[in-house]
């Protein structure tokens, strides 16, 4: 079983933020949700403890998930934090681009009744990847 993680979740959809926070929280993880990239960046700068994992929605207004991924992976302060990209669909070209840009995992938006299991699987895989690279 994976130990409790601190997760930052970025999504402009309030329903998705609510469901994700509840699902990941029910797995024992501490989740902070953000509705825009500026708020997430501010929280990263001000947090004493950096998150163990970032979940970023690909399709966001203003500063989208792909732009956030590029920004974070170029930063010495944040490039070590595993990033999971979330989207309703992943065209092959986007998959390759996101992985090349540094995303550790891609997660498809799932129905609410499947969300808890999907989050658990991604977090478990991210934990295994982190242990292998240590």
H/E/C letters for each residue in the chain? CCCCCEEEEECCCHHHHHHHHHHHHHCCCEEEEECCHHHHHHHHHHCCCCCCEEEEECCCCCCCHHHHHHHHHCCCCCCCCCEEEEECCCCHHHHHHHHHHCCCEEEECCCHHHHHHHHHHHHHHHHHHHHHHC
The answer to pTM > 0.85 is yes
Q: How far apart are CA 107 and CA 86, in angstroms?
A: 5
Instruction: Give the N- to C-terminal CA distance of the chain in Å, as an integer.
Output: 19
Fold of the domain built from segment(s) 6-133: Rossmann fold (3.40.50)
A 10 A CB-CB count for 134 gives 5
Count of other CB atoms within 10 angstroms of residue 30: 15
- pLDDT, residue 7, reads 97
Position 70 scores a pLDDT of 95
Per-block average pLDDT, block size 10, for the chain (134 residues)?
Answer: 88 95 96 95 94 94 90 95 90 88 91 92 78 49
| pLDDT at res. 132 | 46
Q: What is the pLDDT of residue 2?
A: 66
């Amino acid at each position: 079983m994976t130990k409790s993680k601190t997760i930052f979740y970025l999504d402009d959809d309030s329903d998705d933020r609510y469901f994700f926070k509840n699902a990941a929280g029910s797995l024992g993880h501490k989740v902070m949700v953000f509705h825009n990239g500026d708020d997430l960046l501010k929280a990263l700068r001000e947090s004493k403890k950096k998150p163990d994992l970032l979940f970023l929605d690909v399709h966001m207004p203003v500063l989208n998930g792909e732009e956030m991924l590029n920004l974070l992976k170029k930063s010495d302060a944040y490039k070590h934090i595993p990033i999971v990209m979330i989207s309703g669909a992943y065209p092959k070209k986007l998959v390759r681009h996101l992985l090349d840009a540094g995303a550790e995992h891609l997660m498809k938006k799932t129905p609410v009744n499947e969300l808890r299991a999907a989050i658990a699987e991604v977090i478990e895989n991210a934990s295994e990847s982190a242990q292998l690279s240590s």
